[in-house]
A = this chain, B = another copy of it.
């Protein structure tokens, strides 16, 4: 039998022409968004001031299993897609495991992550509607970079609210976004009511994704011909990110394999949702039964220790209420937590699939262990993972070691969502031994739960 190559590239004409909408396959839909002012089920029109109309359509679409990808977006995808499915031969060798480890590598574009897949879609639809300005938030900086790239490509103005800790930890991210013409504001800022309110209450805050979202939404709302775009959590984002899973599945078909275990890191859920989408369809339809694992940081454990409840998507409580696993919208992970995966909630689709048992397992892991795995992975596979992605690396290694112990030759797929070139501060703290772990106490979490909105 011919040996599978290290890197499996589909040809350009195999870039998906349709996104896969997992909601069309789900037995039950997640609970609807609620209007935070009225408590009523949210209507499409309620979202039009914030999101452009075609994205609102996608957000509410539970019936179309496949949605056409516009040609202009496919053209953009051609600059960095299909991304490779990589066989981790050297990691397998280092672990002495009979498991076959594959990763879908989304890091080989300038944003450094999978975020570009949805950024280009969201910018395209806004442009098509005649919108000229966009706002967003960014945490680790990957989403902001991705959006800056897409916005410049389509000649749209972009303002990015960047979580303050990242803004100062990652000045180079800022310079990259500026190369693509974006305006960057550290959040919380005094440019919005939401920002000023949070600064008044917590003058020394490092910021949070939830707070940056509030600021970006407020600005979009108050600026003419401007809309807000969001890099995770939303159903539309998981729809766009399905290109990851679709390409991965096509690549597995090409080599006549199918993964037994599928692992993704989960912050807001965009990568995990996109990676598992077409495989979840197989599971829901009884065709295959892959074991899905969501990996989250122990410092921000929304799936493993959160409540499945309605909550705001942002700290400023301006957004609709979503039914999701949440730590409470005020939750902020300890400042020693590196990189992304710091969101208080989890995408409603992911939350629902987890709650109903289709997403088999959520696993919380500590960051020093994650960086141990990141360093091993770097050394043998020569790709330096983003801290977020390293969570998936870590659990893939755990599962491969289990295979060594059991002698099973399982096929493991994980999402390597990005590269860590802009996260070297975190790597340096790991190298010099100053990196620590943080696990919130039950009391910490109870404080967040107590403030969940009564619905």
The 4 tightest CB contacts between A and B, nearest first, are A172-B424, A5-B12, A175-B424, A175-B428
Please tell me which stretch of A237-245, A377-385, A438-446 contacts chain B, meaning at least 4 of its Cβ atoms lie within 8 angstroms of it.
A377-385
Let me know if A447 is at the binding interface, CB within 8 A.
no
User: Smallest Cβ distance from A4 to chain B, in angstroms?
Assistant: 10
Separation of A9 and B10 alpha carbons in the complex (Å): 10
Separation of A80 and B84 alpha carbons in the complex (Å): 11
By the criterion CB–CB under 8 Å, are B379 and A180 in contact?
yes
Q: Report chain B residues within 8 Å CB of A6.
A: 12, 78-79
Q: Report chain B residues within 8 Å CB of A110.
A: 378, 382-384, 419
User: Could you write out 24 A-B pairs with CB less than 8 Å apart?
Assistant: A5-B12, A6-B12, A6-B79, A7-B12, A7-B78, A7-B79, A108-B108, A109-B382, A110-B382, A149-B382, A153-B380, A153-B382, A171-B428, A172-B421, A172-B424, A172-B428, A174-B428, A175-B424, A175-B425, A175-B427, A176-B421, A178-B427, A178-B431, A421-B422
Q: A12-B5, A110-B419 are in contact. Are A382 and B80 (CB under 8 A)?
A: yes
Separation of A422 and B171 alpha carbons in the complex (Å): 11
Separation of A431 and B179 alpha carbons in the complex (Å): 7
Separation of A346 and B172 alpha carbons in the complex (Å): 32
* Interface of chain A residues 154 through 178 with chain B (CB within 8 A): 171-172, 174-176, 178
Q: Report chain B residues within 8 Å CB of A381.
A: 79
Let me know if A152 is at the binding interface, CB within 8 A.
yes
* Interface of chain A residues 413 through 439 with chain B (CB within 8 A): 419, 421-422, 424-425, 427-428, 431
Let me know if A90 is at the binding interface, CB within 8 A.
yes
User: Smallest Cβ distance from A447 to chain B, in angstroms?
Assistant: 36
Let me know if A131 is at the binding interface, CB within 8 A.
no
Let me know if A32 is at the binding interface, CB within 8 A.
no
By the criterion CB–CB under 8 Å, are B9 and A379 in contact?
no
Let me know if A56 is at the binding interface, CB within 8 A.
no
User: Smallest Cβ distance from A243 to chain B, in angstroms?
Assistant: 16
By the criterion CB–CB under 8 Å, are B176 and A427 in contact?
yes
Residue of B nearest to A107 (CB): B108
* Interface of chain A residues 38 through 80 with chain B (CB within 8 A): 78-80
Let me know if A36 is at the binding interface, CB within 8 A.
no
10 further A-B pairs in the complex, CB-CB below 8 A; given A110-B382, A180-B378: A5-B13, A6-B79, A79-B382, A109-B383, A112-B421, A152-B379, A153-B379, A172-B421, A175-B424, A179-B427
Q: Report chain B residues within 8 Å CB of A149.
A: 382
Let me know if A11 is at the binding interface, CB within 8 A.
yes
Chain A 173-189 per-residue mask, 1 if CB under 8 angstroms from chain B, else 0:
01110111100000000
Chain A 1-21 per-residue mask, 1 if CB under 8 angstroms from chain B, else 0:
000011101011100000000
Let me know if A375 is at the binding interface, CB within 8 A.
yes
Scoring A112, A375, A424 by chain B CB atoms within 10 A of each residue's CB, the highest score goes to: A424
Separation of A419 and B112 alpha carbons in the complex (Å): 12
Q: A108-B108, A110-B378 are in contact. Are A176 and B78 (CB under 8 A)?
A: no
Q: Report chain B residues within 8 Å CB of A380.
A: 153
By the criterion CB–CB under 8 Å, are B175 and A5 in contact?
no
Q: Report chain B residues within 8 Å CB of A421.
A: 112, 172, 176, 421-422
User: Smallest Cβ distance from A123 to chain B, in angstroms?
Assistant: 13
Residue of B nearest to A429 (CB): B175
Q: Report chain B residues within 8 Å CB of A382.
A: 79-80, 109-110, 149, 153
Separation of A379 and B109 alpha carbons in the complex (Å): 13
Q: Report chain B residues within 8 Å CB of A5.
A: 11-13, 78
Scoring A12, A153, A175, A422 by chain B CB atoms within 10 A of each residue's CB, the highest score goes to: A175
Residue of B nearest to A427 (CB): B175
Q: Report chain B residues within 8 Å CB of A425.
A: 172, 175
